[in-house]
Amino acid sequence: MALGKCRVLIVEDDPDARLALQNMLQLLGHEVRCAETAAGAIRELRSQRAFDAVILDLVLPDENGMVVLSDVRERKLATRVAVVTALCTTEGDLKLPAEMRPDAFFRKPIDAYAIAGWVAECVPRPNSRPQQNHAG
């Protein structure tokens, strides 16, 4: 059980990977929502829910996952974003400007313990929960 609860959005089109992450994080006590596409992720992020963390696959069926990261950064959300990909070996391979870099980078196949540890670091401290994410 997690010492604190984190609100996590998993953005992953592979149903097995998505379900494995969702089950693990829920067993650890976190609140989890899922999206299979970039459009679905942006819809979730613009809903009335505030997320502490996003686990983001870069290869999605509708668009590159970077559009989701861009949406989070452009709207200056307090949400932390971890990119998960098999396309790059290191975060530096993404070649992003500093303001667009993810908060964490994980290479596939996913290391469940590393993801769980990162999510635990995203648990908000008292009075630091992100405000609701309003459309805009």
Written in H, E and C, the secondary structure of 35-98 is ECCHHHHHHHHCCCCCCCEEEEECECCCCECHHHHHHHHHCCCCCEEEEEECCCCCHHHHCCCH
| Structural domains of the chain ordered from first start | 7-122 (3.40.50.2300)
State how far Cα 75 lies from the chain centre: 15
Spell out the per-residue pLDDT of the chain, length 136, in tens: 345 899 999 999 999 999 999 999 999 999 999 999 999 999 999 997 899 999 999 899 999 999 999 999 999 999 999 999 887 655 555 666 567 788 998 988 888 899 999 999 999 876 554 444 444 4
Residue pair 103/56 in contact by the 8 Å Cβ criterion: no
Residue 87: predicted pLDDT: 73
48 vs 92: CA distance, rounded Å: 33
**pLDDT value, residue 110:** 85
